[in-house]
Homo-oligomer: A and B are copies of this chain.
């Protein structure tokens, strides 16, 4: 049985907007749009992907990804190099500068999350994070 509460969609929407609003000033410090951050965060969590793979990882359409990559490359935060194995592909890699910006954002965001989650009961919070991870993992679909 469940507690009586507003619908999940309402609650999740409200909370996500709160998170986005709190992340904005952090990203602004590095002159990053939300999609820029999603992209460099994806690049910082594994081996360098092709643009196509990066599009799949981030959920951004491959045609819309390009503008972001252009800007980030011009700022020296990432580089695009042809794949020697298949020269149709371009491999996207985070530069040292890009890594530094990513780490700085991550630290700021982690601190923001700590502050936000402090608003919940400590025991509830543990269940919240655990369930959130479990529910987000796709059930073998």
Selected contact of A11 from candidates B6, B120, B136, CB within 8 Å: B136
At the interface, yes or no: A88 with Cβ under 8 Å from chain B? no
Q: A12 to B11, alpha carbons, bound, how many Å?
A: 10
Check A12 against B9 for contact (C-beta < 8 Å): no
A82 CB, nearest partner CB in chain B, Å: 30
Interface residues as binary, A4-48 with B (CB distance below 8 Å gives 1, 0 otherwise): 011111111111101110010000000000000000010000000
A102 CB, nearest partner CB in chain B, Å: 12
User: With A2-B114, A7-B109, A113-B8 in contact, do A15 and B125 touch (Cβ < 8 Å)?
Assistant: no
At the interface, yes or no: A96 with Cβ under 8 Å from chain B? no
User: With A124-B127, A128-B128, A133-B6 in contact, do A15 and B12 touch (Cβ < 8 Å)?
Assistant: yes
